[in-house]
Chain A
Amino acid sequence: MSWEEATILLAGIATLGIYSFLIRENPFYRFFEHLFIGIAAGWGIVFSFKNFIWPDLMVPMLGLDIITFPDGTTSHPYNPWTLLYLVPMAFGLLFYFVYSKRHAWVAKLAIGFLLGMAGGAELEGFFNLILPQIVGSFKPLVVFDEGIVDWGASVTNWVFILTLILVMYYFFFTFSRRGIYAERIASGGRWLMMVCFGAYFGSTVMARMALLVERLQFLIAQWWPTVTGVLS
């Protein structure tokens, strides 16, 4: 049995192990659940070190990317400024202070920095993302096509703007809803959202099926032929 065949066999058994939850929670599932979690954790650490910490931080800091040629010359001189990488590294390590009861506040420096950075970037990102949508919602309620009213497009735009108003109204929390009409408007917003959720539900069922079909394709096209091949 080749290495690749063994990998496929194990992957198939693991897939079936996880799917066995559909019958009930069982030791077979539990084994693969823990295996899955363990591998995900281990892989994350190895990957971060191998693909980021080592090549992008350690190699330049230690000067390991400098090639020395037979004539004694080097590909490039050592850049001592790379040692400055230690500063953000040390700052990032402040996160670990959360585990200290006395000095937990130190971690708040790192968390605060992260939140501030994300907030600043968000300010730029928010408008880049949202403004085209806001402007896109400026739709004429009466649409003309070559001088004649386009009823289809006009009704579509009316539905759009009414949905927008009703749903936004539903999400006002600090204005009280006085009177039956206020409640009815909010209820209209809720109903329209339910229609939207129906569409989401349909598309999500499709996505779930796509997750399953990929595994079935693997089991049918790769795993089963490997099983029969190994057994014969």
Chain B
Amino acid sequence: MRELHRRWIYLLVALALSVPLILRVSVPPARMRAADRAYDLIRDVEIAPHQIVLMAFDFGPNIKAENGSQAEVVLEHLMRRRIPVALFSLYVQAEPFLKSIPEKVASRLMAENPGEVWRYGEDWVNLGFRPGNFLVLQSLARSEDITAFFGKDAFANRLADIAAFRNAKTVKDIALLVEISGLQGMLELYLRFFRAEGYVPKVVHGCTSISIPDAYIFLDSGQLSGLLEGIAGAAWYSARLRKEYPRQEADEAQILNTSLGVAHLLIILLVIVGNVVAVRSARRGVAQA
């Protein structure tokens, strides 16, 4: 085992991940309680005519597997409920996803529900990437007219002309914030600055696996109302969505979750075998000495 070259381990991991992807098999995901809280919140949230939900996609292509899946399932839920969503990002590399993910979800929903239409401007609006980091959030939170603050959408249309957005006046008209990011410190930026006097939004967060322990701190303190933990969280959210809105299509989040599950099992096995071998050789060394 000690001599087992690391390249063989790389190969084994690649195979463990690839086989479920090639065969497109999925097993039911484990229940994730924090994702349940997110689901229940979005299922029950009531939106007044002047209110919107703000979704922040703060992730790049490198963490698309986790954050992209989360963004898709939450956005699908909101769109199914016909809740208007404003999408924006503080992270420049997220810009393509602000366009591609809602379009993908909308076309899937329209294919599934012939006769129904999900339209840009009515069901969602793309505010694009906004440079300025925390200053954007601070200014947005203090703005008396957020339509004027954002001015135009990502396609240079005036927001005042866009149905989904034109009634929102202040940050208090944002009924819910969904922040999806794996970037270090990004969630903290929102928790620090996205609030106004007498108003703290309910926040649902989608994090990468690496930031789960950090995100739990905020869940425990009540700063987060729901959490999607990596692909596992997205897969469980997706499973609940399928239960409420049955559909036939193969589910990407669940396939990815299965693929990761197989790889995790392999790693646990390697850790156990590696430790047993290490303890044995240590004992043998002591005996020889």
Contact = CB atoms under 8 A, between A and B. Distances in A.
B260 interface: yes
Contact of B66 (A52, A210, A221): A210
Interface stretch (A26-34, A145-153, A178-186, A195-203): A195-203
Given A132-B223, A213-B260, A220-B21, A207 B182 contact: yes
Main secondary structure of the interface of A (DSSP, over half): helix
Contact of A136 (B134, B195, B210, B220): B220
A212 B21 contact: no
Main secondary structure of the interface of B (DSSP, over half): helix
B259 A213 contact: yes
A22 B222 CA distance: 43
B16 to A, nearest CB: 9
Contacts of A213: 17, 21, 65, 231, 256, 259-260, 263
A47 B17 contact: no
A128 B63 contact: no
| Interface size range of chain B in the complex | 35 or more
B288 interface: no
B193 A216 contact: no
Interface string B260-285: 10011001000000000000000000
A48 B18 CA distance: 37
A211 interface: yes
B160 interface: no
A23 B7 contact: yes
B210 to A, nearest CB: 4
A121 B141 CA distance: 14
Interface string A40-82: 0000000110011000000000000000000000000000000
A4 interface: no
B7 A221 contact: no
A128 B7 contact: no
Nearest to B14: A216
| Interface size range of chain A in the complex | 20 to 34
Nearest to B255: A217
B129 A206 contact: no
A168 B46 CA distance: 42
B7 A204 contact: no
A22 B211 CA distance: 26
B78 to A, nearest CB: 24
Given A128-B195, A213-B259, A206 B209 contact: yes
Interface string A125-149: 1101100110110000000000000
A225 B208 CA distance: 29
Contacts of A205: 264, 267
B256 A217 contact: yes
B249 to A, nearest CB: 15
10 contacts: A22-B7, A52-B131, A128-B191, A133-B221, A205-B264, A210-B65, A213-B256, A213-B259, A213-B263, A214-B63
